Amino acid sequence: MQGRVLIIAGSDSGGGAGIQADIKTVSALGGYAMTAITALTAQNTLGVHAVHNVPEDFITRQIEVVLEDIGADCIKIGMLHRAAVIHAVADVLDSLAQDIPLVLDPVMVAKGGHALLEPDAVEALKDRMIPRATLLTPNVPEAEALTGIKIDGVADFDLVGDKLSRLGAGAVLIKGGHMDGETVTDVLWREEHAAQVFESQRVDGRHTHGTGCTLASAIACGLAQKMDMVAAVKRARAYVHQAIVSAPGFGAGHGPLNHGHTVAPFDVD
């Protein structure tokens, strides 16, 4: 099954994260990607240099026309930036997409440190988006910001996962990439299920821009293709790991991944 994924997120002009990474990821994994762009960023591997807001009515119109015609098997949400955007997106999804699985990547800060979620938008995210998420995918700083709990190690993931689940998320994947150590540990927390621990060898290097966007979109693609949650996470992690290992080395800062590593080259006679 190809799987239709509607991606609601911001644009990264450098191509490493955001909508650009999402489209590449879903396409590389055999899905069909559609988009509703929530913000435009002037961005490269050195950071976010400017953000241009997209009007809320145009964001919702993008969502409406896609869902009314093409439909979606899963929705992936990334950068929403402002409280008004969160409320607008939540309203249209409540109207048109109540039964569609949703993967929410709570994008708060870019790799270079630029804030991508305004302070007053955090409560809107917790009130309107997290309760309808099938899966929430915070990294450690995002999980701390959403719960107020300081994470000192993987042992804290269970408490944080429980608190995030109480906000309404169906499942929470806490990503441990920001923590020290040779092993990257992610934990999938689901109420009434044993916590699922995923581990992989850390890849040294600075070419990790867009890993969060990429992982969430890869999982969304798996869910759209009717994979179960654990299988979708396993495939997504393996895809991201290889994308980091084979990163092209572009840029002077946090470089992009190799999203196309699954696509075999072909010759034309």
213 in active site = yes
Set 212, 214, 221, 222: catalytic member:
212
Greater confidence (36 vs 178) lies with 36
pLDDT of residue 73: 98
> Which pair of tokens denotes residue 209?
């821009």
pLDDT of residue 113: 56
Domain containing 153 equals 4-259
234 in active site = no
Give the model's confidence band at 115: pLDDT under 50 very low, under 70 low, under 90 confident, else very high. Answer: low
In a domain, 106, yes or no: yes
pLDDT of residue 242: 95
Instruction: List the CATH number of the domain containing 111.
Output: 3.40.1190.20
In a domain, 90, yes or no: yes
210 in active site = yes
Edge-to-edge strands of the sheet including 4-12?
47-53, 32-44, 4-12, 74-77, 102-104, 135-136, 172-175, 183-189, 196-201
Buried b (16+ CB within 10 A) or exposed e, 220-239: bbbbbbebebeebbbbbbeb
| Highest mean pLDDT out of 29-43, 119-133, 145-159, 187-201 | 29-43
In a domain, 266, yes or no: no
pLDDT at 47 over 80: yes
Question: CA-to-CA distance for 42 and 159, rounded, in angstroms?
Answer: 37
The total domain count for the chain is 1
Set 35, 185, 208, 214: catalytic member:
208
In a domain, 148, yes or no: yes
Residues 154/195, Cβ–Cβ less than 8 Å: no
* pTM of this structure: 0.95
Set 16, 175, 176, 222: catalytic member:
175
Give the model's confidence band at 227: pLDDT under 50 very low, under 70 low, under 90 confident, else very high. Answer: very high
Set 210, 214, 221, 222: catalytic member:
210
Give the model's confidence band at 162: pLDDT under 50 very low, under 70 low, under 90 confident, else very high. Answer: confident
Set 41, 45, 211, 214: catalytic member:
211
pLDDT at 111 over 60: no
pLDDT at 243 over 90: yes
Give the model's confidence band at 120: pLDDT under 50 very low, under 70 low, under 90 confident, else very high. Answer: confident
Average pLDDT value for residue range 110-120? 66
> Which pair of tokens denotes residue 193?
């299920």
DSSP line for 165-234: HHTT-S-EEEE-TTS-SSEEEEEEE-TTSPPEEEEEEPPPSS--BTHHHHHHHHHHHHHHTT--HHHHHH
What does the radius of gyration of the chain's CA atoms come to, in whole angstroms? 17
Residues 133/102, Cβ–Cβ less than 8 Å: yes
- Across-strand partners of 117? 81
> Which pair of tokens denotes residue 72?
């979606």
Q: What is the mean pLDDT of the chain?
A: 92
CA 16 from centroid of its chain's CA atoms: 13
In a domain, 201, yes or no: yes
pLDDT in tens, 176-226: 877 777 888 999 998 777 789 999 888 888 999 999 999 999 999 999 999
3-state secondary structure of 248: coil
Identify the helix (H) or strand (E) that includes residue 96: helix 83-96
Question: CA-to-CA distance for 239 and 146, rounded, in angstroms?
Answer: 27
Give the model's confidence band at 114: pLDDT under 50 very low, under 70 low, under 90 confident, else very high. Answer: low
Tell me the residue type at 199: E
Residues 53/39, Cβ–Cβ less than 8 Å: yes
Bridge pairing between strands 183-189 and 172-175:
antiparallel
In a domain, 171, yes or no: yes
In a domain, 142, yes or no: yes
Set 213, 214, 222, 255: catalytic member:
213
In a domain, 37, yes or no: yes
221 in active site = no
